[in-house]
Amino acid sequence: MDGSTTDVPDGEKNGAFFGRPSNQTRDGAFPQVRWVAAAESGTGSLLGEAPGPYTCGEQVLALDLLHCFGPGMLVLADQNFLSWSLARAVLATGARILWRASASFTLKPVKVLVGGTYLAELKPPRKSDGPVITVRVIEYTVHTAPADGGATEESSEVFCLVTDLLDVEEYPALDLACCYPDRWGCETVIGHHKTDMGQGQPVLRSGDPEGVIQEMRALFAVYQALCRLVGIGVNAAGIPPARISFPHALAAATDTVAAFPPDQADLALAVFLLKILMPGFFVRGRPGRASPRKTKKAGDFPARKPGEPSVTGIVRRIEFHLLYPWQIT
C-alpha cells in the first residue's frame, strides 16, 4: 500500500475541489489529486485505488482500500500510514501488517523478546476509542558494500518495522526485514501510472473534478487489464511476472489494438502474448546488484568514465538493533 499525488489542470473547479500545495510565500502552480493504491507484490496487480483531494491525508484515503484486504494477506506500508486507527481497521479485515514507523513515532518497549526484538503498544487517541494494539518492533540498519571490496561500506538510516506477527520462531526478524523491501513494488505501480500510462505528461487533462477522477480510473483500468493479460502469458510460459517489461507490454498492447478489428480479439490476444514473451524483451534479473549513486540531485548525472560499469555487484548485510531486558525503564 502506498500513495502519491498527481498534478491536475489549473482551474477554478479543480482548485476549489482538490486544493494545492503551498509554502509560506505562495501557492503551488497546479492543484493536485492525492491517491493511494494497494497492489500485489511480485505481480504488480492492482487490488484497489482511492483518489481524493490534496488536503485529504493518506491514512484517511486508505480506509477506502479496506475491502482489498483479508485473511492470508500481509499488508506492507511505509511510515506515512502507521496509526492506531488505521492499524485496527486493517487488522479487523483479517489481514496482518508489516509497517514502517517514523523516527518521531513513539514506541515504548513493554517486553523484550528472544532475539532482541520487543513488544510495544499502539494506543488509541482516547481510552474510550478501543483497546491498545500489541505489536512487535524490529529495528535494523542495512549496510551496503561493493562485492569486490574496493570501496567504503555505506549504511542506511535505521529502519523501524511494526508488525502484529508476534511469534519470533514462526516469523524471524530476518525474514520480515527481507520481506519489507517488497513494498517498493507498489512504488513501481505508481511509476507505471504516472510515467508509462501518462506518457510522461506531468498534468492530467480534465478541467473538472469528475473528469479527473474518471481519467485516473481509466488509467488504472487499462493498467489492470494489462496485468491480467501479462498474467495469462507468464502462467502459460512458466516464467515470473517480474521478467515482463511493463513499458514493452504497453507498447505491444497499443500496436495490437490498432492492428486488429474487434471481431478478431482472439487473434489480437495471441499476437500480444507472442510479443511480450519474446526473450529479447525480458527484464534482466539483477539479484544483489545496484547502480552506484553519484549525486543526490535529479538530473545532471556525471558521465561514466571509460570502462566504468553501469551496475556494480554489491553485498548487503543487516545489522539488528537489539534491545535487552535491563534497558526497559
Where the chain has pLDDT below 70, the residues are: 149-151, 198-203, 285-305, 307-312, 329
The confidence score (pLDDT) of residue 150 equals: 65
Q: Which domain holds residue 235?
A: 189-199+206-279
Taking the CA atoms of the chain, what radius of gyration do you get in angstroms?
23
Residues 178 and 180: their CA atoms lie apart, in Å, by 6
The confidence score (pLDDT) of residue 153 equals: 79
Whether 255 is in a domain gets the answer yes
Return the sign of the alpha-carbon dihedral for residues 235, 185, 288, 285: positive
The confidence score (pLDDT) of residue 27 equals: 85
The confidence score (pLDDT) of residue 301 equals: 52
Whether 89 is in a domain gets the answer no
The confidence score (pLDDT) of residue 199 equals: 58
The confidence score (pLDDT) of residue 57 equals: 92
Q: In 3D, which of 176, 174, 171 has the Cα closest to residue 98?
A: 176
Whether 317 is in a domain gets the answer no
Residues 161 and 175: their CA atoms lie apart, in Å, by 12
Q: In 3D, which of 248, 314, 224, 296 has the Cα closest to residue 37?
A: 224
The confidence score (pLDDT) of residue 303 equals: 64
Whether 221 is in a domain gets the answer yes
Q: In 3D, which of 220, 224, 217, 279 has the Cα closest to residue 248?
A: 279
The reported pTM is 0.85
Whether 75 is in a domain gets the answer no
In this predicted model, what pLDDT tens digit does every residue of 243-277 receive, in sequence order?
Answer: 888 889 999 998 998 888 889 989 998 999 999 99
Whether 292 is in a domain gets the answer no
The confidence score (pLDDT) of residue 193 equals: 81
Q: Three-state SS across 121-174? A: EECCCCHHHCCCEEEEEEEEEEEEEECCCCCCCEECCCEEEEECCCCCCCCCHH
Whether 328 is in a domain gets the answer no
Range list of β-strands (E), 246-295: 289-290
- Are 59 and 86 contacting, i.e. CB atoms less than 8 angstroms apart? yes
Whether 268 is in a domain gets the answer yes
Q: How many domains does the chain have?
A: 1
Q: In 3D, which of 210, 252, 188 has the Cα closest to residue 46?
A: 188
Q: Which three cell numbers stand for residue 3?
A: 500513495
- Are 215 and 205 contacting, i.e. CB atoms less than 8 angstroms apart? yes
The confidence score (pLDDT) of residue 200 equals: 57
